[in-house]
Amino acid sequence: MLWHNLNIDVEPGEFIAILGPNGCGKTSLLKVLLGQYQLYSGTARVNGHRARRGDPDIGYVPQQRGIDDDTPMRGRDLVRMGLDGHRWGPGWFSRSRSQKVDALLEEVGAQTYADSPVGMLSGGELQRLRVAQALGSDPHLLLCDEPLLHLDMTHQRLVARLLHEKRQARRTAILFVTHEINPILPYVDRVLYIAGGHFLVGTPDDVINSAALSELYGSPIDVVRAGGRIVIVGSDSDHHPIHHAEPSAGAI
């Protein structure tokens, strides 16, 4: 069992970070909402209806992973797939669709590299395009599965802020699975922290503190705040600070 009694309502435009150690079921939670996994008990509802496959109410932003240099696809084509990539047929040219793609590219500020091959873009640029792609179906909910992984600091900040701007402008709620809370900390409304089948929900300050996390893990955890950043330290095995929101394996 991954979680028990997990009950959370997400408001329109809300930014929720989902934290927890590997294997706690963060990604599984997203897959339930995407209709790819079924719940043993309980229900998952998206915009009033049951979670189902291919739901246009959901946009999905995956981890950044390298795309081969020679992939026959440009930035704008990647965004376009978010509009009609799931439909059958070859997809003949359509003026209204290309206008929509242009609008999406502008929304994420990707016009300058829209015609570059996706394999030749930086990780940060690729992730901006993926945000545009996910927004293509005008979703009510964005599911982000560690979209900042493998990005440098600057791009982490830029992509995090882009997501923040979009949820404000479009009232799109964001569920953001991550190991690293700091780049999104200024924007997060609530944190869902899952560990060992248990979980905590609340504002970052309520959840990410020594007392709350120590209780969640059942072992002492130190949360250190320095310069607006949060460092979580599992305090039993080693005393090296761990630079992301995950206690060392020994603490779990």
Partner 1 sequence: MTHLAANILTEYFTFENYGELIVLLQNSLFAAALLGVVGGLISVFVMARDIPFAVHGVAELSFAGASFALLISFDVVYGSIIGSLAAALLIGIGGARSSEKNTITGVLMPFGLGLGILFLALYDGRAANKFGLLTGQIVAINPSQIRTLVICAVVVLVVLLIIWRPLTFASIDPAVARAKGVPVTALTIIFMLALGLAVALSVQVVGVLLVLALLVTPAAAATQISASPVLVPVLSTLFAVISSVGGILIALGSPVVPISPFVTTISFLIYLICRLIGHRRKSRHTRARIRREADVHRHPSLVSTAGEARDASGTDTR
**Residue 178 to residues 30, 99, 122, Cα–Cα distance (Å):** 12, 33, 20
Site membership for partner 1, residue 45 (CB under 8 A)? no
Instruction: Write phi, then psi, for 185 (nearest 5 degrees).
Output: -50, -40
Of the residues 150, 157, 179, 243, which one makes contact with partner 1 according to CB under 8 A = 157
Site membership for partner 1, residue 21 (CB under 8 A)? no
3-class state of residue 4 by DSSP: coil
**What part of residues 162-191 is at the interface with partner 1 (CB under 8 A)?**
164, 182-183, 185-187
Site membership for partner 1, residue 89 (CB under 8 A)? yes
Site membership for partner 1, residue 62 (CB under 8 A)? yes
Site membership for partner 1, residue 239 (CB under 8 A)? no
Burial-class residue 35 by CB neighbours within 10 Å (0-12, 13-18, 19+). middle
Q: How far is the CB of 159 from partner 1 (least distance, A)?
A: 11
Q: Which residue in the block uniquely carries the two structure tokens 């970052």?
A: 204
DSSP 8-state symbol, 74:
B
Candidates 11-19, 67-75, 195-203, 211-219 — which segment interacts with partner 1 by CB under 8 A? 67-75
What tokens appear for 148 in the block?
């900042």
Site membership for partner 1, residue 97 (CB under 8 A)? no
Site membership for partner 1, residue 60 (CB under 8 A)? yes
**Residue 216: closest CA among 249, 193, 234:** 193
Instruction: Write phi, then psi, for 119 (nearest 5 degrees).
Output: -70, -15
Binding residues (CB under 8 A) for partner 1: these are 34-36, 53-55, 58, 60, 62, 67-74, 77-78, 81-82, 84-91, 112-113, 116-122, 124-125, 130, 133-134, 143, 153-155, 157-158, 161, 164, 182-183, 185-187, 226-229
